[in-house]
Every structure is written in structure tokens, then in C-alpha cells.
Amino acid sequence: MRGLTARRRYSPVMTEMPAFLDRLRPDVPDIVVPRAVLPFFLPRHPVRGRLVRLGPLAEALLGRHRHHPVVATLAGQALALVAGLASALRFRGSFSLQVKGDGPVSLLHADCTDVGALRFYARTRSERLAALLASLAEPSAAALLGRGYIAFTVDQGAERERHQGIVALGGESLEEMALAYFRESVQLAGLVRLAAAPGPSGWRASALILERVAAAGGTRPRPDHEDATEAWRTVTALAGTLSDAELLDDGLAPERLLYRLFHSEGIAAEPPRSLAYGCRCTRARLSGILEGFPIDDLDHMAIDGAIIMTCEFCNLDFRFSRADIGGRGRAD
């Protein structure tokens, strides 16, 4: 919010008015990627997974912010990860990933709704980031985030209890941090490959997520009753041959990529899911927040008769006339 000594920014959580009905809302990208998440399973193995390709949605989300490329890369990986995890759950509301640390990136948040609306924001400590980059050209996620925790949360609204799992940050990459959560919080064996990078058409982000399920998870048992542990090793070894370039290649169809990886083991795809640009801020929501401030505070926020609030997710400014905001009474 401009007009304060330190610019205040708004991080919306829920909204009373759908964004598309808010006629005074600033323009945001109207982007839907129809086949962004491709679920699949290996019929002869107790393995299921999702391949996530954000395509132009990554540029629409990451390109709105002026983050350093190393921060944008981390955010792109988080977007792909949260989209892949959310697509495996049955819920109504939002599924979020949040990382808080004492490093140059103090906060990283990404969330995805049950219908695939995706958004993110990141907060950085500029001086600490500059100092880190002076010593490391390509710092790891661990160096960027420092010590802290990672939380995964399912939020289905005020009338439903939130489900949340939190673990301390561990590992050098966001992939390793996510796997540490799987092991410690949900006792799930998995594999996570994440990639994000700028290219000729802008930013791209992708993820490959594998989960080991119960031995009966395949459509039929393997004829020779291969040990499930050995099967998992085989599949993860094949996944280990995947390169970032392949993950991010718009010209390599998801089905083709999965066939290239797992055709020797057999693979079956399930119906794909879409992802969309998903910031849900509205003028009505922001106006309601401003109405809760004391009159004196509103007067202090205003510059030339206007108050500007900035959404941290879409990085858009919302201008309100000071005369239209009443406030809740004069401050003591």
C-alpha cells in the first residue's frame, strides 16, 4: 500500500467476489493451460505420478515480478510442485506450500485451488541476497532460504478444519525439502524432479512427481511377482535420466516424454488437468480491509487524495479515493 512510510502490500487469502465479476479490477492474464498436469501410473508396478508443465502460465506468473532469476527459479519450482501435489488430492478450496526461513528469501508461498488456479509470492531481503550472489552465482535453495520450515496446507474455508503438515527445512534443493516432508510427515516414498528457467518464450516450469503406492497399486501384479522394492528402484533409476531440458521443452509432448522414460516398464496415462492464472484479489476485498483502519491511519496513507494497495500475488496496484473510504473511527 503506497502512502505508508514502508510500502504495505496485501496478501489475499479468500475473496467474497469472483475476480471475473470485479469490473474495476486491473487487467490480469486470462491464461488456461488445458493439459498442464498429466497423471499416470505404471500398470505392472506400484507406482503412480504426475507430469506438470506450466507452459506460458509460468511466464504469466513469474514475469509479473521483478525477482532476481535465482529467486524466480525457486518460485517456478514451487509452483510446479504445488500444482502436482494439489492434483493428487480430493478437496474443495486451496492447497498451499509455504517456506519460511532466515535466509535471503524469507518467505516463499505458492498455492493451487481444486480447479487449478495457481499463484505465488516471494519476499526477499535485498541486501542479504546481494551479498549471497556476490559469493555464489547460482546459490542452492538451502542457501537462499536458510534455516526454517516448510508447510503444506489444505484450506477448505472457515467452516472446515485446515489440515497442515510442517517439517524443518532439510536438504540442498526444494526437491529434497519436499521429499523430507514426505518421509517425516506422511511416511511416503517418492521422487520429485523440478525445473524452472527462462527460455525463448519466457519462463517455463515443470515437475515430475512419483509416488510408491501399496503393492496392489498396479492394475495387475507383475507375472514374475517382482519385488516391489526392486521395482521402485528400477522406476526411480529411469526417472533419474530425465534432464531439465526435457522437462522444460515445449516441443516435447508430455505423453512422448513419459513414453521415453518408462516405455520398457509399461505406462498408462489418465485424463489431464488444466491450470490457470489464479490470483483472486478484488477491489471489494481490499476496500473492506481499508474500512477497518482508523481514520487517522487512512489520512496518513493517502497521497494526493488516493490510497494505493498492491497485491503481492499479481503485483497489481489498486487505487482508492480517500473520500470513498470511511474508516472505523478516529484513532486514540
Burial of 93 (C-beta count, 10 Å sphere; 0-12/13-18/19+): middle
Contact predicate 103/136, CB 8 Å: no
Render 165-213 in DSSP notation, one character per residue: EEEE--SSSHHHHHHHHHHHHS---EEEEEEEEEETTEEEEEEEEEEE-
Cα-based angle 49, 51, 56 (whole degrees, multiple of 5): 160
pLDDT, mean of residues 207-217: 80
Task: Dig out the grid coordinates for 125 from the structure.
Answer: 531481503
- The overall average pLDDT reported for the chain is 84
Fold of 1-28+281-332: CBS domain Like (3.90.1280)
pLDDT, residue 161, reads: 75
Task: Say which amino acid occupies 57.
Answer: L
In this predicted structure, the answer to whether residue 79 has a pLDDT above a threshold of 50 is: yes
Task: Please state which of the ranges 6-15, 197-206, 234-243, 322-331 shows the lowest mean pLDDT.
Answer: 6-15
Q: Does pTM surpass 0.75?
A: yes
pLDDT band, residue 314 (cuts 50/70/90): confident
- Determine the Cα–Cα distance for residues 327 and 322; give it in Å rounded to an integer: 10
Question: What 3-state class would DSSP assign to 321?
Answer: strand
pLDDT, mean of residues 4-20: 39
pLDDT band, residue 328 (cuts 50/70/90): low
Segments making up each domain of the chain, as ranges? 1-28+281-332, 30-220+227-277
In this predicted structure, the answer to whether residue 113 has a pLDDT above a threshold of 70 is: yes
pLDDT, residue 226, reads: 52
> For strand 148-155 and strand 163-168, is the pairing parallel, antiparallel, or unpaired?
antiparallel
Q: Among 150, 156, 52, 153, which Cα is nearest to 95's?
A: 153
CA 49 → CA 93, 171, 262, 305, distances in Å? Answer: 22, 22, 12, 54
In this predicted structure, the answer to whether residue 10 has a pLDDT above a threshold of 50 is: no
pLDDT digits (tens, 9 = 90+) for 277-286: 987 766 777 7
pLDDT, residue 244, reads: 96
Contact predicate 262/231, CB 8 Å: no
Task: Please state which of the ranges 77-86, 97-106, 151-160, 264-273 shows the lowest mean pLDDT.
Answer: 151-160
In this predicted structure, the answer to whether residue 4 has a pLDDT above a threshold of 80 is: no
In this predicted structure, the answer to whether residue 315 has a pLDDT above a threshold of 90 is: no
pLDDT, mean of residues 200-221: 78
Structural domain 30-220+227-277, CATH architecture: 3-Layer(bab) Sandwich (3.55)
